[in-house]
Amino acid sequence: MSSVVVTGQSEQSQRELPMESWMSHLPCALWDTPLYHLAIPGSHNAITYCLDMNDTSPVDLTQPNMLQKLDKYMKPLIRPFVYRWAITQEYTVKKQLDCGVRYCDLRIAHRPNDSSTDLYFYHGVYTTLTVETVLMEIREWLDAHPKEVVILSFSHFLGLTQELHMLLLTTIRNVFTPKLCPKTEVLTLRNLWALGYQVIVSYEHNIVSYHGDLWPHIPYWWANKCKAEALIEEFEDRKQHGRPGGLFVTGINLTEDLKYICTHPTESLKDLVMATYPTLLSWVKEQTPGSKLGCLNIIAGDFITESNFAPTVVTLNEKLLKWSS
């Protein structure tokens, strides 16, 4: 793709990049831009589409003691509330990747009283799919999309012993070698394509310093607000203090509190998200990727297959083109 074509591209053409392969279709003017200066769509709590809905899973151990007791003795009454507010994504990880997501927020747990070494994801309750199964699905997707790069953030470890951490690292390496990008590499598309690296693994644990193929935990800006306007105000304030130097996430995911849930008994997290997406995405359209004060990088949300979330984020890279033209 020539530079003449790049500088002549319209915002409309950027918006219409095929989301399943948008990285490989980026103009060559952006191939040497570090990934931490690009606008990248992300999935908050990416693996909640397969939460255990058969009531066989206990609520996860991060939940308040009161909820755990209520769930134990009043499960038929409590579980519908848990499910409605715990599901943050409705589609499989492959579908999310097809829709343009390149950052996945992965929260790992070992289920209590499980004699096996199987690991799961969790949010409210545990998933039915194991971590290894989901990672294999991501690997298969990457094999079919050799110029796309994904950032996998492993965090919020629950119930993992040192032995289970090592088993997880072994699984990650078995699944993704030779696609794993070492933390010494230059994170540009041109460099990653040349070396065949497609997976950046960040790991929120102190063992990260002992492993060259693990990147440190990626900062995640979380506003902890249940109203879009309050979330935007929080992020505008943070932007005044500058962005982190490397990869970082701005999470436009809203957070419901107990008061909100109790005052909206027939609603769900999706109802809340869909009602606020017009306001949130209007704010996203005003953002700019890059290295300057106030610039954003990864933007993560809930129900990312809805409301043109990913195209809205990817289109922000058009602003980088305008600067370089």
Q: Is residue 84 part of a domain?
A: yes
- Residue 74's pLDDT band, with cuts at 50, 70 and 90, is confident
Q: Is residue 64 part of a domain?
A: yes
**Tokens 């990913």 label which residue?**
310
| Average pLDDT of the residues in 283-302 | 97
pLDDT score of 3 more than 50: no
211 is catalytic: no
Domain of residue 313, CATH code: 3.20.20.190
pLDDT value of residue 10 = 43
Using alpha carbons only, give the angle 26, 30, 32 rounded to the nearest 5 degrees.
130
- Residue 15's pLDDT band, with cuts at 50, 70 and 90, is low
Number of H helices, E strands in the chain: 13, 9
Strand 40-43, strand 150-158: pairing: unpaired
- Determine the structural domain holding residue 104 and report its residue range: 22-322
Closest by CA position to 93, among listed 117, 119, 129: 129
95-141 per-position pLDDT tens digit:
999 999 999 999 999 999 899 999 999 999 999 999 999 999 999 99
SS3 93: helix
- Residue 14's pLDDT band, with cuts at 50, 70 and 90, is low
With 0-12 / 13-18 / 19 or more C-beta atoms within 10 angstroms meaning exposed / middle / buried, residue 155 is middle
Number of domains in the chain: 1
CB 65 within 8 A of CB 105: no
pLDDT value of residue 7 = 37
The active-site residue out of 25, 37, 110, 123 is 123
pLDDT value of residue 126 = 95
pLDDT value of residue 256 = 77
44 is catalytic: yes
Give the other-Cβ count within 10 Å of 255's Cβ: 14
pLDDT value of residue 323 = 57
On whether the pTM is more than 0.85, the answer is yes
Q: Is residue 14 part of a domain?
A: no
| Average pLDDT of the residues in 285-306 | 96
Spatial CB neighbours of 94, under 8 Å, sequence gap ≥ 6: 137, 138, 140, 141
- What is each CA distance from 325 to 1, 6, 16, 26, 314, in whole angstroms? 14, 8, 20, 15, 18
Q: Is residue 287 part of a domain?
A: yes
Query: How many Å from the N-terminal Cα to the C-terminal Cα in the chain?
Result: 14
| Average pLDDT of the residues in 299-306 | 95
pLDDT score of 60 more than 90: no
Supply the DSSP symbol for 154: E
Q: Is residue 87 part of a domain?
A: yes
17-51 per-position pLDDT tens digit:
899 999 999 999 999 999 999 999 999 999 999 99
The active-site residue out of 37, 44, 110, 205 is 44
d(CA 315, CA 13): 9
* Phi (first) and psi of residue 122, to 5 degrees: -155, 150
Q: Is residue 13 part of a domain?
A: no
Question: Which residues does residue 41 pair with via DSSP β-bridges, in sequence order?
Answer: 299
Q: Is residue 277 part of a domain?
A: yes
Q: Is residue 17 part of a domain?
A: no
Mean pLDDT score of the chain: 91
- Residue 12's pLDDT band, with cuts at 50, 70 and 90, is very low
